[in-house]
Amino acid sequence: MESELQGLNPKPPKQPDPNKDERPLLKPPDAAASSGELDKKYAAFVRSDVYGSMGRGELPTREKVLLGLALVTLVPVRVVAVTTILLLYYLICRVCTMCSVPNREEEHQEDYAHIVGWRRIVIVQCGRALSRLMLFVLGFYWITQTYRIPQTYVENPATPSEQENDAQSEDTQSEDSRPGVIISNHVSYLDILYHMSASFPSFVAKRSVAKLPLIGLLSKCLGCVLVQRESKSPDFKGVSAVVTERIREAHQNASAPTMMLFPEGTTTNGDFLLPFKTGGFLAKAPVLPVILSYHYQRLSPAWESISGVRHVILILCQFVNYMEVTQLPTYYPSQQEQDDPKLYANNVRRLMASEGNLILSDIGLAEKRIYHAALNGK
């Protein structure tokens, strides 16, 4: 009997290793469900055109035919036209800056934006005209521009005390009415071309841009603020410090170039507005809010979850592209907003979201990188 019981008794159970996770592995989530969760969580960066995420979606037959037709007919013409415009403006800038000494604010920071007289007039007017011509070549034949007065301005007129203060400071207001910076949502690299054609402002760019062929000289004529975040030089000014100085100068000096900032810090799909960084609001100067919107049927001009080269080629293949611009009145900060740049930035952001029918989102560049990594299977 004992031998039978011994034969039935199994070996003593193995003691679990406390350092080893013995939980059963979860089944991999359904691909469709996983994709849906990603799209919901990172909705501000999701493409919804026929080309799909990363621009590699399965295309219908009609789209393949249109794409093939554009590649052999439209794209070569546009490439030649864009290259010609770029070379022409480079030559104009080269002639206008000949024998001129660039303005040097600090090491590696120089520009020709402070040139005066006919040289500056030629650089600005030709830059605006050729930028608009380049947009036309890219299929933006009509750009709808609207000046909108927010409803809150109409419903909440100035109080008697505010009107009295305005009357007392009328002369000062007329001198300080020029905005120091243009604030815009960021959807695509095409945004830059529009703002160049509209006001020819200065942008913030990486320091390496100044060394690029052709583009380097153009960036200096624009007066771009060249930054290098990883610089450890004791003489190096932070990005916010340089931008703040330029905004104050633009606000106080009518001949200084206006700054242009995308306070979101990255692009979206055009339906959302990300949190604003406060760098453009530290100067306490008035800002000019501008809202850009792209309407599309096939390809979204938004530069999201797609490589730059692929997106440029697809843009060149588009027969027609659409852009709508909404400009709001200059926003003058209250004393409370001047004392609190974060409050100032948030109030401007809410106003732009309301007037542009944009959805406020709390995610930013860090979440965008996570989303792109997930799309690439990393």
What is the spatial distance between Cα 198 and Cα 327, in angstroms, rounded to a whole number? 11
Burial class of 149 by CB neighbour count within 10 A (0 to 12, 13 to 18, 19+)? exposed
> What torsion, rounded to 10 degrees, do the Cα atoms 137, 140, 142, 143 define?
-130
Task: Flag whether pLDDT at 350 surpasses 80.
Answer: yes
What is the spatial distance between Cα 265 and Cα 347, in angstroms, rounded to a whole number? 17
Q: And the tokens for 45?
A: 């960066």
- Torsion 231-236-240-246 (CA) sign: negative
Cα 122 to Cα 86, 127, 133, 193, 215, distances in angstroms: 15, 8, 16, 18, 18
What is the spatial distance between Cα 212 and Cα 199, in angstroms, rounded to a whole number? 23
- Torsion 235-223-349-171 (CA) sign: positive
Q: What is the pLDDT of residues 11-68, one digit of tens each?
A: 555 555 555 545 444 344 444 446 678 888 899 999 888 888 888 888 889 889 999 9
How high is the pLDDT of residue 176?
A: 60
How high is the pLDDT of residue 149?
A: 84
> pLDDT tier at 192 (50, 70, 90 boundaries)?
very high
Q: Are 193 and 200 in contact (CB under 8 A)?
A: no
Burial class of 87 by CB neighbour count within 10 A (0 to 12, 13 to 18, 19+)? exposed
Task: Flag whether pLDDT at 234 surpasses 50.
Answer: no
> pLDDT tier at 311 (50, 70, 90 boundaries)?
very high
**5/147: higher pLDDT:** 147
How high is the pLDDT of residue 132?
A: 97
With a pLDDT cut of 90, the percent of the chain lying above it is 50
Least confident of 43-57, 59-73, 144-158, 253-267: 144-158
How high is the pLDDT of residue 166?
A: 47
Least confident of 16-25, 210-219, 358-367: 16-25
Least confident of 138-142, 145-149, 336-340: 145-149
pTM flag (> 0.75): yes
Cα 141 to Cα 144, 201, 292, distances in angstroms: 10, 22, 16
> pLDDT tier at 231 (50, 70, 90 boundaries)?
low
Q: Are 125 and 93 in contact (CB under 8 A)?
A: no
Q: And the tokens for 125?
A: 């007017």
Residues 21-40 as b/e (b if ≥16 CB within 10 A, e otherwise) read: eeeeeeeeeeeeeeeeebee
Q: Per-residue pLDDT averaged across 342-346, rounded?
A: 96
Q: Per-residue pLDDT averaged across 249-272, rounded?
A: 91
Task: Flag whether pLDDT at 154 surpasses 80.
Answer: no
Q: Per-residue pLDDT averaged across 125-154, rounded?
A: 90
Q: And the tokens for 294?
A: 């792209």
CB atoms within 10 A of CB 242: 19
How high is the pLDDT of residue 260?
A: 94
How high is the pLDDT of residue 105?
A: 63
Task: Flag whether pLDDT at 170 surpasses 70.
Answer: no
- Torsion 191-197-202-208 (CA) sign: positive
> pLDDT tier at 206 (50, 70, 90 boundaries)?
confident
Q: Per-residue pLDDT averaged across 348-368, rounded?
A: 94
How high is the pLDDT of residue 230?
A: 52
Q: Are 218 and 131 in contact (CB under 8 A)?
A: no
Task: Flag whether pLDDT at 173 surpasses 90.
Answer: no
> 305 in the Ramachandran plot: left (φ > 0), alpha (ψ -120 to 50) or beta?
left
Helix axes 118-137, 190-198, angle to 10 degrees: 140
Angle 43-45-51 from CA coordinates, rounded to 5°: 105
Angle 102-107-108 from CA coordinates, rounded to 5°: 70
Q: Per-residue pLDDT averaged across 90-119, rounded?
A: 80
How high is the pLDDT of residue 213?
A: 85
Q: Per-residue pLDDT averaged across 312-333, rounded?
A: 94
Residue 271's Cα: distance from chain center in Å? 13
Q: Per-residue pLDDT averaged across 307-324, rounded?
A: 92
What is the spatial distance between Cα 268 and Cα 276, in angstroms, rounded to a whole number? 13
